[in-house]
Each structure stands twice: as structure tokens, then as C-alpha cells.
Structure 1
């Protein structure tokens, strides 16, 4: 187990006077989600109270009151969106049916049967390129018990696969659906569904500097006995049409939960400090936490070292050029890239921010089944194991 090293301090520094747990970027993304999905749904997805979102929205409206011309333009846009929504039902239907357009007759019929009542059968048959006569014949024909079970499983697997946005393969889907891994794998293969694949790694660390370094206190031991015993941190990158975006993340090794993160178009010391400050706010300023990172200039900077000292945190750094010394963080970076970034094109940096917000705050912390935790989410693991 990790041996904690702490520095004695004559006086415990007072935490910041503000009590806020959430930064402005979090609030902006949360309000955008509330606008898109509704306040109740956004609050549920993010683990917030609906009243918090209403308060944030009211304050934002006070700050950013729109001119008459802007309000008119916004109303015109809303009207246009409603018209587009009315005319695009055929386009929305394939989205709900996931990869059914590419699948066989049996799967298509099962999808149509699943959504009878939501859309006209004639419309669904036209979109999925099968005849109404064929569907009704399939619907009247009593399938074998095996075929029926297979069709039901295919629909369940497809729904779970689409809900996870192609992030999960047979291993996680089988746990989520409580079905055999082989059954789920065969269903995925039968439907031509494949989880997102990895891409080539690109290094972001600049360790060519003369700044002070810290001892490696973890020594590749990533097991801890309690929360806030050791955090790991790193910077990764996301490409957009407007240029690069850099993401700094702080991960608690106990539950593998992302406790802090920040994004910017520049890879600076302020970026890693912002992520660490979020972690401190969310974890209520624990002291004596080991904060492990690589030897990048951002983590060796005076700004970052000062932040660690001020709040009684203990620095730790990987050996030069040894990615295995921060393997837990590298694994998280890989998951982010495979499950949220690869295969996506971001026209703007704001789109990239929204995707990262959704991945961390809605999917990863709250619902992603983590193999290291016995296939429960980080939030669930903490709920079950912290008294």
C-alpha cells in the first residue's frame, strides 16, 4: 500500500472564501444541457438539484440580457428548428434504430415492432427499406422460441450499444445487460456493431527544462485504501477545426473518479492548476494527498508547486520517459480518446468542451462500468464503499 508522506505546517491555510463547488465552465455546460434536454433530465444526469440549474440560469440571464434584435433572431431560430423537426422524422427514426439500416430483415422487423406506436409502421418500413407486407407477415408468423429470444436480445444489445454511443463492447455490455458475454458478442457480430477503436498515441509532455522535480512516491503502485490518498494527473489533447484543445485531468486512484478537470487552447501551468483547484473544491480540501504527474513543465512550474504547498499536498513525479509510472492516468486518456473523441469531428472548441463535459460528468463518473472496480461506476463504487 502507498505510504503517505506529509510536510508539517505551522498553520493550516484557510480555504478560499467562496463555497462554490462548480466552476463557470461547468455551469455553462450544465445550462446548455438543461436547455437541450430539459432541467429535470439535466439535473438527474449531472446529480444536481433542479433548483441549482434554475438559479444558475436566472443569474446567467441577468448577466447576458439579450437585445431586442437578438431575441427576435432567437425566436426565428426556434421556429425554424420546430419546422426542421417536423420535416425530419424520417431522419430521426434511423437514429433511434441505431445500426438497423445495415442489418438483416429479422433485426429490422424487431426494431419496427419495438417502436410501434411511436411512429407509423409505413414510415418505419420505408426508412428501414423493407415492405409493409413483409413486416406484417413476419409479425403474424410465430417465430421459434430460439429466434424470438435472439431477436429480443438483439434489440436490447442494440439499444444499449446506441445509448453508450458505441463506447462499449461485449465485456461491458454483458455486465450492463446481465447477459452472457458470448451471447452479447454474438449479437454484436450478428448486427455488425463494433465499439470505437484506438488511434495512435501523441505525446504532450515537455520534460526538457531545469525546473525542480519531485520524487516518485507511487512507484507504479496504483492501489489505495481510501479516497484522497493519491491523485494522478495528466494533460491530453483534442483536435478541432479551430485548433488544438488541451485537457488536464485529476483522477482519484481509490475510485478512479475524475475529481478535477480543465480545458484550454493553450497547454499552460494555469491549465493544470485549474484542474487541481476543481479537485480541491470537490473533495473539500483534503490535506496530505499525494498528487502524481509526469515531469512536464506545467507540473514543475512555480505556480503548480505553490498550489501544492499552500494546500498541504504532496508532489510525486514519474521517471523520465516512463509512461508506466502514470499508467492509471494513461489508461483514462486512452478510454476518453476511444470512447468519446475518435471518429468525431469538432468544428469548434466549444463543441469539444461539450463532448468532454458529457463524457466525464454524465457518462464516465456516473455510469461507465470500470473493470478495476468490479464493473461498477466510480460514483457507485464510492457510494458502496465509503461510510
Structure 2
């Protein structure tokens, strides 16, 4: 029912008409603060435009129900050619289906220079021409009823796919090493990716740096305190928390871990990205191999 809070009577009538199969008309009219006479006046006027908008609203609603975190650009992409993105944006606003974000304090793992600081080989160039050319990593923190969970993924810049990840209650060296080992299993002979991170203490550890060197992985680090040097990773964390964490209630860390696991699958296999020509990361990778 939260889908309708439009501002204009005509737009209210469209939204009410679209939701009539699922809810009693009197309830919809009361919720929309719309008189019955006004509703039927708008319903029977300008039939062609109204029918078009009603049909489009139905398609938008179906897409948003399956992918509630899609913004108007992704919804427009799903609708196909011939639909103006501004019209889609307006109808999404009319139906109250906008994606809302929320800010949270970032987890920082920097504890000073306790080991070797790698050069910034990436230099904010996140474009990759082949898989396993440039990888990004970082750690983000989730809080559930006083407990904390740390999520550490590796993102491939080629198709934004999460090729490895680990969750732990402790943001320690074991967390990042297990993640790297998972990613190493996907490398082919001759692969030598750049792995970019911040200057967190986990990435300065000698055992971590040795693991990278043994597998021909080139370590790269952001400048101290400069989140833009790893902007693509920061952007992913922001989207992830909006889509699977903010506004939701979890009873335990284990429940959150299960949600994260499913989100990673959804993100990799189903969530379309405009920069990938409307494909998901896995779809894009498979298509590129054909």
C-alpha cells in the first residue's frame, strides 16, 4: 500500500486504477485522499494517455516487485527501447517507488604504517579490458543487535563481478587471506592481476603481501585517507547496504550472513548494470567469451 502517495489527482487516479485488482477501491481512495467522483472523472477522460500510463505503471510495478532496488534508469532499460526515462522517473515518483539511501559511518582499518605500503598502480583507472586484470577489495562493517560482521569481497573491474568474498566477526589477516585464496582459484596460467586496496593494517601484513607475490598478484594501495582512489569499491558497498541492509531487521549475525550470500548471488547473476549493456556481471562475462 505504500506504493501510492502521488501529488496530482490525475496521477492518483492512475495509481489507484493500477492497484484495484489487488485492493478494495474504497481503501485505495481513502489512502490516496481521492474522492470517488474525482477518480471516475479522471478514469474516463483522456483514455489513450491514461491507458498508456496505466499499462506502463503495471510494467514498472512488476519490475520493481522483482527488483525493488532498481532506480529509474535500470527500470527504463528493462522496459526496452521507446520509453522515455523521464516519464519512467515521474511514474516511479507518482507511485512512491523511489529507492531511498541511508548513510552509515565507514569502517576504517588504517592503523598507521606497520608494514610495506604498495604504490598506487591503479591511479583511479578502474577500466579493465579483460577479466582478472584489475581487482578491488575493501572491508565493510555491519552491525546487528550489538554484534558486528565484516564483509570482505574482491571485485573484478572488467565486469564488476564479485569473484570472491568472506564474512567474519573479526576484520583480521585471516579474513583477507581466505578471500584472496578463493580468488586465486579462479586465475588461469599467466594471469597477473592488480589487487587494489586502502592502506588498512590487514593489507600491510607480511604474510598477506607474500601470498600475493607468490601468485603473481601486483599489490596496489590508495593514498592514505583518500577514498576516491578506491571509489568503485566504495560505490558497491553503498549500493549493497541500500539494497540488502538498510531499513531491514535482522535477528542474528547468521541471518545477515545468509542474506549477504543471497545478495552476492543476485548481484552477480541477476542484477543488471547499465555500463554492462543491461546485463548482469556473469551474463556479461559469459557473453564476452563467445
The answer on whether the counterparts of 1:285 and 1:311 sit within 8 Å (CA) in structure 2 is no
2:275 is aligned to: 372
Alpha-carbon distance between aligned partners in 2 of 1:285 and 1:348, rounded to the nearest angstrom: 41
- How far 1:267 sits from its partner (Å)? 0.6
**Quick check: 144-153 or 195-204, which moved more?**
195-204
2:144 is aligned to: 240
1:305 is aligned to: 209
Where does the alignment leave 5 or more consecutive residues of structure 2 unmatched?
A: 7-11, 31-35
Alpha-carbon distance between aligned partners in 2 of 1:128 and 1:279, rounded to the nearest angstrom: 53
1:159 is aligned to: 62
Q: Does 1:272 align with 2:180?
A: no
SS of corresponding position for 1:304:
helix
Distance 1:128 1:377, change over 3 A: farther
Alpha-carbon distance between aligned partners in 2 of 1:243 and 1:307, rounded to the nearest angstrom: 30
The answer on whether the counterparts of 2:3 and 2:96 sit within 8 Å (CA) in structure 1 is no
Q: Does 1:172 align with 2:71?
A: no
Moved over 6 A (4+): none
Alpha-carbon distance between aligned partners in 2 of 1:357 and 1:285, rounded to the nearest angstrom: 29
Alpha-carbon distance between aligned partners in 1 of 2:65 and 2:165, rounded to the nearest angstrom: 26
Q: Does 1:316 align with 2:220?
A: yes
Q: Does 1:337 align with 2:241?
A: yes
1:13 is aligned to: none
Distance 1:152 1:212, change over 3 A: same
Matching residue within 147, 169, 173 for 2:50: 147
Deviations 1:210-230 (A, max 9, x none): 212212111111112211111
**Quick check: 221-230 or 277-286, which moved more?**
277-286
SS of corresponding position for 2:24:
helix
The answer on whether the counterparts of 2:136 and 2:196 sit within 8 Å (CA) in structure 1 is yes
TM-score, normalised by the number of residues in structure 2:
0.84
**Greater share of helix residues, 1 or 2?**
1
Distance 1:108 1:285, change over 3 A: farther
- How far 1:252 sits from its partner (Å)? 0.6
Alpha-carbon distance between aligned partners in 2 of 1:218 and 1:106, rounded to the nearest angstrom: 50
- How far 1:257 sits from its partner (Å)? 0.8
Distance 1:223 1:100, change over 3 A: closer
Deviations 1:62-116 (A, max 9, x none): xxxxxxxxxxxxxxxxxxxxxxxxxxxxxxxxxxxx6346574543442343x6x
- Please say which structure displays the higher CA radius of gyration: 1
Alpha-carbon distance between aligned partners in 2 of 1:286 and 1:231, rounded to the nearest angstrom: 16
- How far 1:319 sits from its partner (Å)? 1.4
- How far 1:245 sits from its partner (Å)? 0.8
Distance 1:295 1:100, change over 3 A: closer
Distance 1:182 1:344, change over 3 A: same
Q: CA RMSD in A?
A: 2.6
